[in-house]
């Protein structure tokens, strides 16, 4: 089950590995994505650290790490096709996979229902 952050990232954790990306709402706000500065495999990050930056035709934005851990895989296809995030932000457009150092951090994130309410209240 996906969980969401206030800064519009999503994660889906399975057996200690979290797949991370940006929400459908975030990609809509960014517009056409033209470049993704991916993290490096082996990077160790703390919750809230900058994971990567995404550049669109409108702006450049940082993506934050929703959980602490080590980057164990990156979505290399985004180097050649960053627009994959626009096409499938919560699917094929995932950014990286992180080996969780503290699985309890996932519990503090929002459900889809909570996230939708937050987005609506921002609106």
**Boundaries of every domain in the chain:** 2-122
The reported pLDDT for the residue numbered 27 is 96
Residues forming a β-bridge with 64: 50
- CA dist 36 and 114 (Å) reads 28
Q: Is the pLDDT of residue 123 over 80?
A: no
Q: Which band of pLDDT confidence, cut at 50, 70 and 90, is reported for residue 114? A: very high
Burial classification of residue 118, based on how many CB atoms lie within 10 Å of its CB (0-12 exposed, 13-18 middle, 19 or more buried): middle
Q: List, for residues 79-107, the tens digit of each pLDDT value.
A: 999 999 999 999 999 999 999 999 999 99
User: Would you tell me how many other CB atoms lie within 10 Å of the CB of residue 16?
Assistant: 12
Provide the phi-psi class of 14: left if phi over 0, else alpha when psi is between -120 and 50, else beta: beta
Burial classification of residue 51, based on how many CB atoms lie within 10 Å of its CB (0-12 exposed, 13-18 middle, 19 or more buried): buried
Q: Is the pLDDT of residue 122 over 90?
A: no
Q: List, for residues 21-72, the tens digit of each pLDDT value.
A: 999 999 999 999 999 999 999 999 999 999 999 999 999 999 999 999 999 9
Q: Are 73 and 96 in contact (CB under 8 A)?
A: yes
The reported pLDDT for the residue numbered 102 is 95
| Angle of CA points 52, 38, 32, to nearest 5° | 80
Q: What are the structure tokens assigned to 41, written together?
A: 């495999």
Decide if domain 2-122 falls under CATH 3.40.50.80.
Answer: no
The reported pLDDT for the residue numbered 96 is 98
């Amino acid at each position: 089950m996906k969980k969401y952050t206030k800064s519009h990232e999503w994660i889906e954790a399975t057996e200690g590995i979290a797949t991370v990306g940006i929400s459908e709402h975030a990609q809509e706000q960014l517009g056409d994505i033209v470049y993704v500065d991916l993290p490096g495999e082996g990077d160790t990050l703390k919750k809230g650290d900058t994971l990567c930056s995404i550049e669109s035709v409108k702006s450049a934005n940082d993506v934050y790490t929703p959980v602490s851990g080590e980057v164990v895989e990156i979505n290399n296809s985004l180097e050649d096709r960053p627009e994959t995030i626009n096409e499938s932000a919560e699917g094929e457009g995932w950014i990286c996979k992180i080996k969780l150092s503290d699985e309890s951090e996932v519990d503090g994130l929002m459900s889809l229902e909570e996230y939708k309410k937050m987005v609506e209240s921002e609106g």
